[in-house]
Each structure stands twice: as structure tokens, then as C-alpha cells.
Amino acid sequence: MGNAQTRSRSLNAYELRELATSWSAAAESCVISLRRRCRRLPLLSLILLVTLAITLYAFSLHPGFTHFSIANVATRISHTTSPCTNNRRPAAFQLHAIPFRSAIRTLVQANSKPLNSTHASSASFPPISITPSLKLVTSTVRSRYARLARAYLSPFAALGKISSESYMRPFLRDDGRCGGCVLLQVTNRSMFLHDRRGVLTKMAPFRALRLREALHWVESSVSRGVVDNFEIIISTTDSVATTSRNHSYRMPDPEEASPIFGTVACNVSNNIPFPLVLSDVLRRGLPHKFWDTRSEMIDQWDQAMRSFGEEHAYSVPWHRKKAMAVFRGRIRISTFLKRREMFDDFCDKVGRTALWATARKHNARMKRWAVQKAKNGRIWPLPTNWFLPRVEQLLDVQVDGTCGKRIYVSDGMPLQKQAEYKYIMNVEGNSFWADRLLLLLFGSSAVMKQETPCGMFFEPLLEANVHYIPVDYWFRDLTKRTQWARRHDCDVMQIVRNARRFAGEYLSTAGIQTYVDELLKQYSELLEERRIKVRPGSVQVYP
């Protein structure tokens, strides 16, 4: 019995050995045949083809690439090696957001020709052409700024005339609503400043800087004889001084319309926006050049923006930029909340902390997706999958400050470093606006602008999906907007070109001075009393 079992085991081993030998011979013959047929195709090419096939399959599994196809891959590759030459208008994206003076947008953009789109002959952006003098300001810029000024003044034109009581009433009150206001009077081409609250001497330096900037613009108009014999109230605060419509924001209660000149215009106020923040933008946006400067820097604006635009455009080529939306900034208490004490309870709902929460939720969802797919066996585990399909985040958001019980820490990325990203976000600060938008429009990255109830003087002239990519106030469509931008790379490049051209024409010192000239001229014509009496305590500031 034992010998029979041994003979049976030996026989099985022999059969297995014979079977292995036959398989080896068959495999060797197949390899020889394959080499003869594929003699002209190197082994490296085979490896590359297999790797490409696996990579394409992995990409097709990713939820962020639901529109993925071979045609799209070819399009993306062509974008990195050749310029975008399509002449299509950027695809519209349905907007649901809080409107910023929609009536003003309608008045300004009605019957106005769209900006001509210029296409560069290469994938890089051409240098910004900044209007050097008032004589070279185009008729289009003048007419659009004239319509914009008329729209801002339309509530007072509907009343017939502007009475001195309408703007002196909030100025003379001591309830804090107009705490950063001054009275500027112009008579016989001389300027007098009535600073009863000490904005120039007692308040924060940034308010004095804004006031000096306002004096610069008015002095230029008066010295050239554009306007004379008028008086205005200038507010140097971040928000509007008065409101004229019911609202739930942290703003003054509604009252009669007051033509007070300030930093922004809002959809619940008739205050008139005026250029006041250029010098402060230079100090905080380009601190390595202007931080130690305390005087107004309007004369350096054009050159600084030209240099910033060139550095931003040529530091990183477009095809090497990260296809992500980036934001860095300090936490500000949103004006959306009626009381400041409410902010700690709404950290994830409004303001820059809401943006941080949105980015965190999206990035966590992407990581959970990758891990879940790895568990299901559809992709390789994260540590070893070097060609994992774009699990990289769409949003790179960091903020500094505190809200509730959380401490937020940021790496403090400067704007020059943010040029490595294709999309830069503009998010509200204290009062529904952010002055960094002035800089971003000169840059080489697309501006993803949060739609807010307030904005600076030029913002109604900007068109969504032409000069910037609009984002809902609550950031509900932020990831969709970023995915849309990724799929329409040529359109996004054209948006950047349009924004840079707009900035060079409308946000040069000559362009801004054109707006000031039109605004002051139309304002003075609406004044009920043109015989200006200089108030006691006023100081002559020009000549």
C-alpha cells in the first residue's frame, strides 16, 4: 500500500513537471512570435501605452471629470502647447446672488457696446496698456463713466435738486453714523476743509490717507476748471454713512436719501461711491514697496500697476498654473449680521469663515471619495497610486483670526505667490466689499468674485463671465464655478484678457479722474444752492 501511494505521488509530480515544461515552451514560442511581429515597436512604447490606458481609465472614475472624454484630453493637451484662438464669448452661467444695485447696472450697460475682445497670439498675456493722460481717454470710457455718474445721482435728480439740508443733517449729528465725515467746500477755485472730528489728526492713519486721496482727485478737477462752487460730505469709513431702504444688515437705520460721498455704494443706500482706497491698496497689497509710505501715492499708481501686471503675468505661464481657486486673508465680521456678537454663531454661514468651511467640506469630500473607491477596489490605495485621478482639491483657502472657539491660521501667501493659481477669489471684508479687487483685475489670474450688496465705484461696469467669474454670496456654487472654469480654459483666459484691458482703461489715474470729473460736474449742477459760504473753522487746502 505504501509503495502504491509513493508511486502515485511521484506520478503526479512528474505530470505537473511535464505540464510546466509544455507551458514554458508555449510561452516562449508566443514571445518569439510577438517579437517578430512587433520588432519595430520598442518595449518602452508598450509600457507607455499601457500606462496611458490605465491613467485614462482612472481619470474616468473621478466625479470631478464627469465630462471626461478623449476629445477633452486632446483639447487640454492642445491648451498647454498652443494658444486659445477661439472667438467665442465665455459661456454664460446662471447667477443666483444678492444683486449689487441692479438698476445701476441696467442704466449703465443699456445701449452700450460690449468691450472688444482682443486675443493674444500666444498663450501668455500681452502687457497692460494703461491710459497715460486725460487727453487719451477714449470716448467709450468717458460715455460709460458719464452714464455711471448719472445712475448714481438719479435718486436725487428725481427729486429735482439737492438741498444742503439733505447732506448737512447727518454731518452735524453726533450719533456716530457719520463719524469719519468731513465737509469739503469749493468756491472761486479754492478748496476749504472743515474737519470737525479730526479725521486728519486724531483718527486711524488709513482714514487720513483716504481723505488726502479725495482731496487729490477734487483738486485736479478744480485746478483744470472742470467744476467750481460746490460742497460735498466725504465719509472715510468702510461702510455707507446712511441708508434709504429697509434692510437687516449692520448699517444705519433707513432715513431720507443723503448724497454723501464714500468708499462704496450699496443696494440699500443712495450714498455716492468715490475713489478713496488706491493708496491704501498699494500699502497693503504691495507692502514690500509702499508699506512705509504715509502720504497719498496716486502719482505712483499707474507705474505700480503696470509692474504688478507684468510680474503677475510672466512669473508663471498659464499652462503651469494650478487649476485651483485660492484665497488668503484675515477674518472680518460680515456686515450681513445685525450685531457683531452674532458672528461667533454663524462662522460657517457668512463671511470668509464660510468660504473656509466650504473649501474644507469640499476637500474632505474628495478625500472620502478616494478612500471609498480604494476600499471598493476600483482604484489603488492612496499611498501607492501615483497617477490617482485629480483627487487634488479645487479650493486652496486659508484665513487668519478667530471665530467662535476656533483659531484659524494661514500661511500668509502674498499676491505675487498667488499668481501660481489660475483663479483668485475676491471675498467680502468688513462691509460687503474688498479693495483687493483693484489689484486682481490687473493680474494674470481669473477673478472669482463673490456677488455682494455693496461695491466700489467702478463695479457696475464689470460684466459677469466677461471680466470675472461670479460666485454666489453664500458660496453654494463655488465648486461648480471652479469645475466650469476647468472645462472652459480658453474662455477663462479671455476673461483675464478682458479684465486686464478694462483695468488699463478704466482704473488708470486718467480713467478714474474722468469718473471724478463727470461725477462732480453732474453733482454740482443738481445743487440747489451754488453760493458757497465757507464755514468757521475751515482750513484752506488749495491753492
In the prediction, which pLDDT does 369 show? 54
If you search the block for the grid coordinates 510672466, which residue do you land on? Answer: 314
Comparison of pLDDT for 25 and 37, the residue scoring more: 25
In the structure, what pLDDT confidence band is assigned to residue 50 with cuts at 50, 70 and 90?
Answer: confident
In the prediction, which pLDDT does 58 show? 54
Mean pLDDT computed over every residue of the chain: 81
Write the pLDDT tens digit of every residue in 355-368. 999 999 887 776 65
Among 24-33, 64-73, 221-230, 434-443, the range scoring the smallest mean pLDDT is 64-73
Distance CA 457, CA 278 (A): 12
Distance CA 418, CA 426 (A): 12
DSSP state at residue 386:
T
Comparison of pLDDT for 180 and 46, the residue scoring more: 180
> Is a pLDDT exceeding 50 seen at residue 93?
no
35-49, 290-304, 440-454: which is most confident: 440-454
Distance CA 294, CA 318 (A): 36
If you search the block for the grid coordinates 478625500, which residue do you land on? Answer: 367
Domains (range + CATH), the chain: 2-58 (no CATH), 102-129+298-505 (3.40.50), 134-285+292-297+514-542 (no CATH)
Write the pLDDT tens digit of every residue in 231-249. 999 999 999 999 999 999 9
Element (H, E) at 77: helix 70-81
Among 30-44, 438-452, 468-482, the range scoring the smallest mean pLDDT is 30-44
In the prediction, which pLDDT does 430 show? 86
Distance CA 332, CA 397 (A): 15
In the prediction, which pLDDT does 363 show? 79
In the prediction, which pLDDT does 359 show? 92
> Is a pLDDT exceeding 70 seen at residue 169?
yes
Whose CA is closest to 179, among 204, 155, 199? Answer: 199
Question: Could you tell me what percent of the chain has a pLDDT over 70?
Answer: 72
Write the pLDDT tens digit of every residue in 489-501. 999 999 999 999 9
In the structure, what pLDDT confidence band is assigned to residue 445 with cuts at 50, 70 and 90?
Answer: very high
> Is a pLDDT exceeding 90 seen at residue 212?
yes
Write the pLDDT tens digit of every residue in 263-282. 999 999 999 999 999 988 98
> Is a pLDDT exceeding 80 seen at residue 543?
yes
Q: Which residues pair with 407 in a beta bridge?
A: 402
Comparison of pLDDT for 414 and 266, the residue scoring more: 266
| Mean local confidence (pLDDT), 36-63 | 61
Phi, psi dihedrals of residue 298, rounded to the nearest 5°:
-60, -35
Whose CA is closest to 207, among 194, 218, 198? Answer: 198
Comparison of pLDDT for 59 and 166, the residue scoring more: 166
| Mean local confidence (pLDDT), 52-76 | 45
Pairing of strands 272-273, 446-450: unpaired
Among 93-97, 238-242, 447-451, 499-503, the range scoring the smallest mean pLDDT is 93-97
Write the pLDDT tens digit of every residue in 310-356. 888 778 899 999 999 999 999 999 999 999 889 999 999 999 999 99
CA dihedral 200, 267, 506, 297 (to 10 degrees): 10
Distance CA 366, CA 13 (A): 53
Question: Could you tell me what percent of the chain has a pLDDT over 90?
Answer: 57
Comparison of pLDDT for 123 and 427, the residue scoring more: 427
Distance CA 528, CA 499 (A): 39
Q: Which residues contact 148 (CB under 8 A, 6 or more apart)?
A: 104, 108, 457, 458, 460, 461, 515, 518
> Is a pLDDT exceeding 50 seen at residue 124?
yes
Three-state DSSP string of 94-108? CCCCCCCCHHHHHHH
Comparison of pLDDT for 290 and 148, the residue scoring more: 148
> Is a pLDDT exceeding 50 seen at residue 17?
yes
> Is a pLDDT exceeding 50 seen at residue 9?
no
| Mean local confidence (pLDDT), 71-100 | 40
- Residue 73: Cβ-neighbour burial (10 angstroms; 0-12, 13-18, 19+): middle
Distance CA 468, CA 478 (A): 13
CA dihedral 211, 216, 218, 223 (to 10 degrees): 150
In the prediction, which pLDDT does 40 show? 52
In the structure, what pLDDT confidence band is assigned to residue 96 with cuts at 50, 70 and 90?
Answer: very low
| Mean local confidence (pLDDT), 388-417 | 84
If you search the block for the grid coordinates 471680466, which residue do you land on? Answer: 467
Contact in structure between 156 and 505 (CB atoms under 8 Å): no
In the structure, what pLDDT confidence band is assigned to residue 115 with cuts at 50, 70 and 90?
Answer: very low
Q: Where are the beta strands (DSSP E) in 92-229?
A: 181-187, 190-194
Among 51-60, 198-207, 405-414, 433-442, the range scoring the smallest mean pLDDT is 51-60
- 413-434 b/e with 16+ CB inside 10 Å = b? bebbebbbbbbbbbbbbebbbb
Whose CA is closest to 58, among 378, 518, 275, 355? Answer: 378
pTM of the model: 0.78
In the prediction, which pLDDT does 13 show? 58
